[in-house]
Amino acid sequence: MTTTITEMPTAGYGAALWRGLKSFALLRESWVGMLGAFLVLFWVLVAILAPLLAPFDPNSSIQPFAKPGMEAIKGGGTFWLGTDHIGRDILSRIIWGSRTVLIYAPLATISAYTLGILMGLAAGYRGGWVDDVLSRIADIILSFPVLVLYIIIIATIGASGFNIIIAITFASSPGIMRIVRGLVLDLRNRDYVAAAQTRGESDWRVMLVEILPNARGPLIVDACLRLGYVIITIGVLGFLGLGLPPPDPDWGGMVNETRQMAMAFPHMTLFPCIAISSLILGFNLLADGLREISLRD
Amino acid sequence: MVTLVVKRIGFMIFTMIVVSLILFLLLETELTGDPAARVLGQFSNEEQREIWREQHGYNQPVALRYVKWLGNFAIGNLGESIRFKGPVADVMLPRLWNTAILGFWTFAIMIPLSLILGVLSGMKEGSKLDRTISVFGILTTSIPEFASAVIFSAIFVFGLKWLPGTSSMSGGFEFKQLIMPAMVLIVYDFGYVARMTRASMAEVMTSQYVRTAILKGLPYRSVIVKHALRNALIAPFTVIMLQINWLLSGVIVVEFFFAYKGFGALILEASLNNDIALLEACAMVAVCVAVTTQTLADIGYTFLNPRIRFS
> B21 touching A, CB under 8 A?
no
pLDDT value for A177: 94
> B199 touching A, CB under 8 A?
no
**Residue type at B81 in one-letter notation:** S
Distance between CA A112 and CA B179 in Å, rounded?
Answer: 37
Interface contact flag, B271 A155, Cβ < 8 Å: yes
Interface contact flag, A273 B246, Cβ < 8 Å: no
The DSSP annotation for B118-170 comes to HHHHHHTTTSHHHHHHHHHHHHHHTS-HHHHHHHHIIIIIIIS--S-S----T
Q: How far is CA B117 from CA A61, A281, B22, B114, in A?
A: 48, 20, 41, 5
The DSSP annotation for A15-80 comes to HHHHHHHHHHHGGGG-HHHHHHHHHHHHHHHHHHTHHHH-SS-TTS---TTPPTTEEPSSS--EET
Q: Using only C-alpha atoms, what is the Rg of chain A?
A: 23
Write the burial class of residue B56 (CB in 10 Å: 0-12 exposed, 13-18 middle, 19+ buried).
middle
Q: How far is CA A43 from CA A100, A103, A172, A286, B158, in A?
A: 11, 12, 24, 14, 29
The minimal CB distance from B18 to the residues A140, A157, A263 is found for A140
Model confidence pLDDT, tens digit, residues A102-146: 999 999 999 999 999 999 999 998 888 999 999 999 988 888 888
pLDDT value for B26: 82
Higher-confidence position of A285 and A65: A285
Write the burial class of residue B222 (CB in 10 Å: 0-12 exposed, 13-18 middle, 19+ buried).
exposed
Closest CA to A23 of A220, A157, A177: A220
Average pLDDT for B91-103: 91
pLDDT value for A2: 41
Element (H, E) at B81: strand B80-81
Pairing of strands B80-81, B86-87: antiparallel
Task: Give phi and psi for B243, each to the nearest 5.
Answer: -65, -25
Q: Give the number of beta-carbon pairs within 8 Å between A and B.
A: 126
Higher-confidence position of B67 and A165: A165
Say yes or no to pLDDT of A296 above 80: no
Closest CA to B263 of B276, B280, B248, B242: B248
pLDDT value for A237: 92
Say yes or no to pLDDT of A35 above 80: yes
Element (H, E) at B183: helix B176-205
Q: How confident is the model at residue A7 (pLDDT cuts 50, 70, 90)?
A: very low
Render the burial of B66-96: b for 16+ CB within 10 Å, e for the rest: beebeeebeeeebbebbbbeeebeebbeebe
The count of C-alpha atoms lying within 13 angstroms of the C-alpha of B78, restricted to the half-sphere facing its C-beta, is: 22
Closest CA to B231 of B203, B268, B258: B203
pLDDT value for B181: 92
> B304 touching A, CB under 8 A?
no
Distance between CA A212 and CA A202 in Å, rounded?
Answer: 14
Look at residue B29 and give its three-state secondary structure. Answer: coil
**Residue type at B287 in one-letter notation:** V
Say yes or no to pLDDT of B68 above 50: yes
Shortest CA distance from A158: residue in chain B = B32
For residue A242, the chain B residues in CB contact (below 8 A) are: 271
Model confidence pLDDT, tens digit, residues B116-164: 999 888 888 878 888 888 889 889 999 999 999 998 988 888 888 888 8
> A44 touching B, CB under 8 A?
no
Look at residue A83 and give its three-state secondary structure. Answer: strand
Write the burial class of residue A73 (CB in 10 Å: 0-12 exposed, 13-18 middle, 19+ buried).
exposed
For residue A276, the chain B residues in CB contact (below 8 A) are: 144, 147
> A227 touching B, CB under 8 A?
no
For residue B291, the chain A residues in CB contact (below 8 A) are: 143
* ipTM metric: 0.85
> A124 touching B, CB under 8 A?
no
Q: Are A251 and A235 in contact (CB under 8 A)?
A: yes
Element (H, E) at B80: strand B80-81
Task: List CB contacts of A249: < 8 A, sequence separation 6 or more.
Answer: A58, A59, A92, A93, A94, A96, A97, A100
Q: Are B278 and A173 in contact (CB under 8 A)?
A: no
Task: List CB contacts of B140: < 8 A, sequence separation 6 or more.
Answer: B148, B187, B188, B190, B191
Choose the mutation target among A39, A157, A236 for the interface with B, i.e. most B CBs under 10 Å.
A236
Q: State the pTM of this model.
A: 0.86
Write the burial class of residue B119 (CB in 10 Å: 0-12 exposed, 13-18 middle, 19+ buried).
buried
Say yes or no to pLDDT of A225 above 80: yes
Q: How confident is the model at residue A293 (pLDDT cuts 50, 70, 90)?
A: confident
Q: Are B12 and B291 in contact (CB under 8 A)?
A: yes
Query: Mean of the per-residue pLDDT values for chain B?
Result: 85
